[in-house]
Structures are given as C-alpha cells and as structure tokens.
Structure 1
Amino acid sequence: MCKVALRSRERLAVLRPRAGILVLHTLHWPEEIRDPGDLSSPAPTTDRELALAELLMDEMTGVDIGELHDDYAQALNVLIDTLAADDRALPPSEPQQPVDLMAALEASVRDARRARAEHRR
C-alpha cells in the first residue's frame, strides 16, 4: 500500500510488479465508498465463493486500513473550517521529502517474506 499524488489529490494505491514492470492501482479511501444500492446478482453467492474471497483478502492484507488517512482531505477541511470562522488561513506546511520507491519496495518485499516465513512455522 502507498499514497500517491495525482492532479494535486492524494490517493491510496497498491504498487505491484507485473511482467517486469511496476503497476500502480489506485484505490478509494474508506469514506469515498458509497452504498451501491441493490446491485445483487440474481445468482446467490456460494459459501465456497465467500470462503475464497475471504482467503484472498487475508492473503493480500498486511495494512490496517484504520491506520490510513487522507492527508489532503484533512488539510482541506482545516482550511475550510478556518475560512468559515473568518480567520486568516495558515500558510501551507512544507511538503515531505519523496520516498525512495525502490527502497520502500524492497523493504515491503522483505517484510512480506518474513511474515510468510513466520506464518509457516
């Protein structure tokens, strides 16, 4: 899991290797997910399908979604609240230094291998 800035907007994302290249999949923040209404399939979901979906989610996890937050939305809300209170807006904070993508990827792979090795014991 990672965060990327696209069009001045911070997004949650997953970075994966595929066929010798890195692929970035952008995700939604939890508060962006809306109730889809009734989009249920006319065919019922089987217990096996649910078990496989749960197994897939367990395999792909490793990040506590509760620990993630949308810094952009938070900063925007602070700005709106400040302006609504008729106060002067604070100057923007200094941007963080960019992350070394390869070092972060290597650390993530190392951690995943270590977690799998511990899980197998």
Structure 2
Amino acid sequence: MKGISGNGKGPGGTGNSAPDYEGEFLSVQVEATYPGGAANWKKYLERGLRSQVAVENGAPVGLYTVVVSFLVAKDGSTSEVKVVSAPDPDYGTAAEAVRVIERSGKWNPAIQNGRPVIYREKQRITFKVE
C-alpha cells in the first residue's frame, strides 16, 4: 500500500518520505504572519481598503463578504491572490479585496520543521453597506 507523499498536508505516509519543502503547504507548525502581528494586519486592512467601494457601485444595504486566498513564499512575498468566494453581484468588493492583499508587502513566512515554506493563506473581508 502506498502512503501519502510528504506534501505538507499530513503525515508522510509510511514515515519514510520527507516533506517537499519546495511545494505548497496547507498546514504548518507556524503560520505565516503579517509583520507586527494580527493587530498590524487589521490596521493595514482598515487603512488600505476602500471600504466604500460597494456603496460607490450601488450596493443595497447589507454585508458583502469576500474570501481571498494567496500564497506567502519562503521570502515572505505574496502571489496567486484569488477570490475563493464572493457575493453575486459583488459590487466591486472582490476586486478591492484582491487589490489590498496584492499590495500588502512582505510577510513573515510560514515555518515547518524550522524551515520557511510556501503557505496558502486565506483572508475573509466583509464590506458593510448601511
């Protein structure tokens, strides 16, 4: 019986295979973090996000939640920013969520077995129209 290869998604199968440190990890010992931690990340989002984009695009009163995923590389750079879920219609919220993540700058990379690894991060952003 063949085990799961070391891909960062769980045990290395039979225990004989090593994790692939060049591949994307979905589960790590230390997740990627924004410099300064969660409080700085929240401040960045509050300052950088054009929170009125839904209003500007004629959205009715309500909450518009977008979930974005992106890779944090071993060097902390971000890439592959994409929308996982968004309201339909999204009134420009999906594009705005992607824009703010793309401009977030360098992160502290995720760590697995003491080594920086590529990690897929997810972020939920909710736009409120009152």
Q: Give the structure-2-normalised TM-score.
A: 0.21
- Structure with bigger strand share is 2
Q: Which of the pair has the greater relative contact order for Cα pairs under 8 Å at 6+ separation?
A: 2
TM-score w.r.t. length of structure 1? 0.22
Q: Which has the larger radius of gyration?
A: 1
Structure showing the higher helix proportion among its residues: 1
